[in-house]
Structure 1
Amino acid sequence: MLVHLSVKNFAIVKQLSVSFEQGMTAITGETGAGKSIAIDALSLCLGARADANAVRNGAEKAEIVAHFSLADNQAAVKWLDELELRTEDEADVCFIRRVISREGRSKAFINGSPVSLQQLKQLGQYFISIHGQNAHLQLLKEEHQRQLVDSFAKHDNLLLAVKQAYRDWQTIQSEHIRLQDEAQTRTDRQQLLAYQAAELDEFGLAEDEFAELEVEHKRVSNSQALLEEAQHSVFTLYENDDANALSMIQGALDKLEQLQESDANLAPVVSMLNEASIQVEEAAKELRRYCDKFDLDPELIQEVEARFAKTMELSRKHMVPPEELYRHHQTILSELNVLQADETKLEGLQQQVDDARTHYLAQAKQLTESRQEAAQKLSTSVEKQIKQMNMPHAQVSIDVTTREDIRPGINGVDEVVFKVSTNPGQSLEKLEKVVSGGELSRIGLAVQVIAQDSHVTPTMIFDEVDTGISGPTASIVGNLLRQLGTKSQVMCVTHLPQVAAQAHNQLFVTKVSTEEQTETRILPLTKQDRIDELARLLAGDKVTDTALANARELLKSVESN
């Protein structure tokens, strides 16, 4: 529950400090005094957007601190523990702080740790539910009516199942549509790639073959010159009887070996010539073997040249370097496999779409049945409640229907419509066709109270939800809020004395103005203060003895009950 609220430099509030009690608390005051300021401040603590207008004139920043008790609020405790935001020293309380600068920048803190506005909203739902002046108007929207039924039914798991089934169906269906739309393009591309792949398959260039082919092509292209030069070299080095390199070296070697006896300095030269003689002889023998093995097969030469030429032709045709032709071939095959896989996938995808749709409709059917059951119980409860609120002839029906023209969505295939009859003999019609503003307020309040019974929030705030209600009906509404205050902390901004009298506690909002500034203050009322305030609400600005007597009687009748 909300324990304390501290507000500084917010709107027309310079400084405000209010403590709150359990039960029902009525908040009253003069028109324009700022009765809704505390609610606006709490909304900021729950993650509402803020702007620079929230800062009081002349101040640099506004600051709001809300103090909540965590007693019997396991949902909030679990959330805080998951984010490690609960302190050991004050494990049973939670402080939310919001600071807004004059420039409109905002900071938020939970127990002193900075958090995002989204996190404030997540935590706030476990502390407070606020029902504003326009809450009843939301009841006229069919989307809101569906949400109320879902909330009352407590079938969150079913909603999640339907939502997931719908998303799965849409994902598969989108893929199916994409593949269908791309079918012609895919077919054209597949035909082109198949032709290219067949051509390259037939040629069958192996990996790294071009490098070897390029070397072989260069060799066969110069084969005649290579053989002739090799044979000439053998003749010059070894086989020329008149003069060859080997005999000339050996002749010089023989002479120098003789001279070496006269001069030892010739020894290195003799050694080098000896090695040269051996190397020349070995080179000549190697060249002879090279010539003996040299193949001038015309068919081989023609084959090499033809394959090299075809490689170059294909590289130009496919617009890739010849050394990349093999890799290009593999890329074509890979893409062709993907296209063929898409074609195969398309053939089986229709069945997957049908299966996903069937699964979705099965989940949606379960949701429909759950909604219909909840709608029956909720309509019975609302009808019973509003009959106690001076609408004795009211009938309420919540229709949950599935029509063929309702487009499937993440929330199922249902149309949820609240219908009501307020007078005998009147047929059930949609809310907006039959109810007055006061009747709508009563129906809306009844729905909120019943919803609160199904989803207990520690603190409920009603901001002038009794608009359009007066007289005996106001007393009934006040009594309803008082009963609700026995289960939750209830705060009600009201201008009706019949409602304010039902409260366990009462706060008075007043506006103090000087020539320079205006301030709003919130004051707790004693029993006598309450009598004076109720008399003001009964009689207006001029409080009479009769009004005071009526106020005492009104308060006494509530206390006696």
Structure 2
Amino acid sequence: MLTHLSIRNFAVVKTLDVDFTPGMTAITGETGAGKSISVDALGLCLGERADSGMVRTGAAKAEVSATFDIKQQKAALEWLNEHELADADEVIIRRVISSEGRSKAFINGTPVPLQQLKGLGQQILSIHGQHAHQHILKNENQKHLVDQYAEHQQLLDKVSSRYQVLRAQKQQYQSLLEGQKQRADRSQLLSYQIQELDEFDLAEGEFIELEIEHKKLSHSQTLLEQSQISFHQLYEAEDFNALSAVQNSVDRLTELQEHDPSLSPIVSMLTEASIQIDEAANELRAYTEQLEIDPMRMQNVEARYSQALNLSRKHNVQPESLYEFHQNLNAEYKGLVQDDSLLEELEEQLALLELEYRKAALQLSSSRKKAAKAFAKEVEKHVHQMNMADTQFEITIEHDELGKPHSSGLDTVRFMVSTNKGQAKDQLDKVVSGGELSRIGLAIQVISSSSSDIATMIFDEVDSGISGSTASVVGQLLRKLGHSTQVICVTHLPQVAARAHNQMFVTKFSDKNTTETHMISLKENERIEELARLLAGDTLTESAIANAKELLEISNS
């Protein structure tokens, strides 16, 4: 629950520190005094939009800090632990707005984005504004209220989860379906290209081998002639060959090294050269013997080599990459064939997923219908107490089993009402007046709040359009809610304020230059005076004070 609110330089508030207690707290004050200033400040702690106009004139920044005791709020504690922001059983939310309109948010002293502030705020505090009654006129909001009352979050999660899976599958299916023609055209082209490359059947690395062999065969005559000439010069020539010349030099120098030992290294080198020449000549002879001039082989290699070049030009790839290109086309073609098979599989899966979704949506609808009956009875009971004795309230749940899937199911929820005997029930916005809507709306809010695990409820003049004995019933409802939940109610009705366990008074002070708003907690005698003012106006009479005392005594009895 909210335990303390601190405000600095916010709107017309210069400095304000307020302690809050359990139960129902009423906030009253003169018109225009700024009774809702605390509500606006708490709204910032929930992550609402900030702007420079919120900063008090002349101040550099505004600051709002709210302290909550959350030891009884499991969801809030889990949220804080999950985001590593926990600090014992207390949480402090702080918001700072600069005069330029920039804002910063903090949870337990740690800077956080507004989204996290909103996430925590939803766990610990809810604000019902004076226009909240208009909120219940929308069917989607009516559905949410029924779901909140039913407390069937598991069913909601189940429907939402199956909807998300179904939607993702539909998107994949639609994407494949839309590309079906393009895939068919591409498959036809690939089929032709692959057939041509399959017929050629180039092996991996074959082009490099073809290129080498093509060069060799193209120059086979020259290779043979020059090899034979070289072999003759190295080994066979009778008048002079390289091997004989080197061997003769070795023989002569071997005899001379006896006279000069420095010739020994030269002899060694020439001896090694003689061995190398002999080996080279033998290799060259073997080469010339196996070298053949084969016109038929040349023709075959030439044809295959040329076809490889033509195909590489046709497909705009390097000849040495033609094999890899062929494999890539095969892989792409198989992928397109698989996509078409997947399309058929997805179609079958979609039917099953939609069946599962509609089954879950039907379960949710059954739960809603059951909750709607109990919810409607409670609303009817409360509005009867607020001088609407002839009112009949009903919640209809229309389940469209063939309808378009939605994350919240297939139901249309409508709040139907009849306020007079003999009048047929119709939708809220077509039947009720402003005052009747206020009473029905307040009853719904009180009932919804009682089924919520949020510890602090703020009601900002939600009793507008209500007066007299009806206001007394409203006060009773809020007081009853205050027994299980902290209720803070901004009101102008003495019947409501008198029902509060605690009461605060908002006053405004102005001089020639500035305006300030203050909020103080009222003692019993001060409450009597404030209630008398609410009953009779600014001029307090003995009669008004007596009425205020009686009202306070009755409310607390």
TM-score by length of 2: 0.96
Q: Which amino acid aligns with 1:458?
A: A
Q: 1:261 to 1:538 in 2, by over 3 A?
A: closer
- Equivalent residue for 1:84? 84
Q: What residue identity is the alignment partner of 1:55?
A: V
Q: Alpha carbons of 1:278 and 1:416: their partners in 2 closer, same or farther (altered >3 Å)?
A: same
CA 1:492–1:298: 2 relative to 1, 3 Å: same
- Matches of 1:187 and 1:462 in 2, distance apart? 63
Offset at 1:161? 1.3
1:405 Cα deviation from its structure 2 partner? 7.8
Q: Cα gap change, 1:71/1:243 in structure 2, threshold over 3 Å: closer, same or farther?
A: closer
Asked whether 1:311 is paired with 2:313, we answer: no
Residue in structure 2 matched with residue 220 of structure 1 by the alignment:
217
Q: Is the 8 A contact 1:406 1:415 kept in 2?
A: no
**Where does residue 61 of structure 2 map in the other structure?**
61
Q: Distance in 1 between the 2:37 and 2:235 partners? A: 117
Which of 410, 415, 418 is the equivalent residue of 1:421?
A: 418
Contact persistence 1:60–1:102 (CA under 8 A): yes
Q: Which residue of 2 aligns with 1:441?
A: 438
Question: 381, 405, 408: which is aligned to 2:378?
Answer: 381
CA contact (8 A) 2:13 2:517 kept: yes
Q: Deviations over 1:142-191 (max 9, x none)?
A: 11101101111111111111112112122222222222221121111111
SS at match of 2:18: strand
Distance 2:311 2:447 in 1: 80
Partner of 1:109, secondary structure, is strand
Residue 329 of structure 1 is matched in structure 2 by 326
Could you tell me which amino acid in structure 1 is paired with residue 61 of structure 2? K
Residues 1:545 and 2:528 aligned together: no
2:39 is matched with 39
**CA contact 1:234–1:284 (8 Å) conserved in 2:** yes
Residue pair 2:24, 2:501 contacting (<8 A) in 1 also = yes
Inter-CA distance 528–212: structure 2 relative to 1 (3 Å threshold): same
1:179 to 176, 179, 194: 176
Q: What amino acid is the match of 1:175?
A: Q
The CA deviation at 1:382 is: 0.7
**In 1, Cα distance between equivalents of 2:407 and 2:456:** 31
Question: Which residue of structure 2 lines up, in the alignment, with residue 338 of structure 1?
Answer: 335
State whether residues 23 and 485 of structure 2, in contact with CA within 8 Å, keep that contact through their aligned partners in structure 1.
Answer: yes
3-state DSSP class of the match of 2:123?
Answer: coil
* Contact kept? 1:16, 1:521, Cα under 8 Å: yes
Contact 2:27 / 2:505 at 8 angstroms: preserved in 1? yes
Contact 2:197–2:326 (Cα < 8 Å) also in 1: yes
Aligned to 1:488: 485
2:340 counterpart of 1:358? no
Q: Does the alignment pair 1:93 with 2:85?
A: no
Deviates most, 345-354 or 506-515: 345-354
**Bigger shift: residues 545-554 or 20-29:** 545-554
Map 1:69-218 to 2 at 5 A.
69-87=69-87, 91-218=88-215
Partner AA of 2:147 in structure 1:
D
Q: What's 1:525 paired with?
A: 522
Mark the CA change 1:502 to 1:276 in structure 2 (over 3 Å): closer, same or farther. closer
In the alignment, is residue 400 of structure 1 matched against residue 397 of structure 2?
A: yes
The CA deviation at 1:262 is 4.9
Unaligned residue ranges in structure 2 (runs of 5+) = none
Task: Return the offset for 1:495.
Answer: 0.9
Q: Distance in 2 between matches of 1:189 and 1:241?
A: 72
Q: Tell me which residue corresponds to 1:236.
A: 233
Deviations along 1:45-95, whole A, 9 cap, x unmatched? 1221211111101111111111222242222223223333333xxx23222
Q: SS at 2:27's partner residue?
A: strand
- Give the CA deviation at 1:18: 1.1
> What corresponds to 1:246 in structure 2?
243
| Identity rate, percent | 55
C-alpha distance in 1, partners of 2:123/2:298? 88
User: Deviations along 1:216-263, whole A, 9 cap, x unmatched?
Assistant: 111111111101111111222222223333333344444444555555
Amino acid at match of 2:30: E
- Contact 1:395 1:422 (8 Å CA) reproduced: yes
Q: Distance in 2 between matches of 1:98 and 1:231?
A: 98
CA contact (8 A) 1:9 1:56 kept: yes
Say if 1:254 and 1:70 are closer, same or farther in 2 by CA, change over 3 A.
closer
Alignment partners' CA distance in 1, 2:311 and 2:185? 21
Q: CA RMSD, aligned part only?
A: 1.7
Counterpart of 1:25, as a letter, is T
Q: Secondary structure at the match of 1:456?
A: coil
Question: SS at 1:412's partner residue?
Answer: coil
Please say if 1:2 is aligned against 2:10. no
Task: Indicate yes or no: 2:50 matched with 1:50.
Answer: yes
CA–CA separation in structure 1 for the residues paired with 2:187 and 2:338: 11
Q: C-alpha distance in 1, partners of 2:523/2:257?
A: 139
C-alpha contact 2:133 2:438 (8 A) present in aligned 1: yes
Scaled by the length of structure 1, what TM-score is found?
0.95
Asked if the contact 2:358–2:401 (Cα under 8 Å) also holds between the matched residues in 1, the reply is no
Structure 1 gap ranges (5+): none
- Maintained 8 Å contact 1:389/1:476: yes
Q: For the residues of structure 1 that align with 2:405 and 2:535, how far apart are their CA atoms? A: 53
Partner of 1:456: 453
Amino acid corresponding to residue 462 of structure 1 in structure 2: F
Query: How many Å separate the matches in 2 of 1:357 and 1:405?
Result: 10
Q: 1:522 to 1:294 in 2, by over 3 A?
A: same
Q: 2:44 is aligned with what amino acid?
A: L
The offset of 1:265, in angstroms, is 4.6
Determine if contact 2:13/2:516 at 8 Å carries over to the other structure: yes
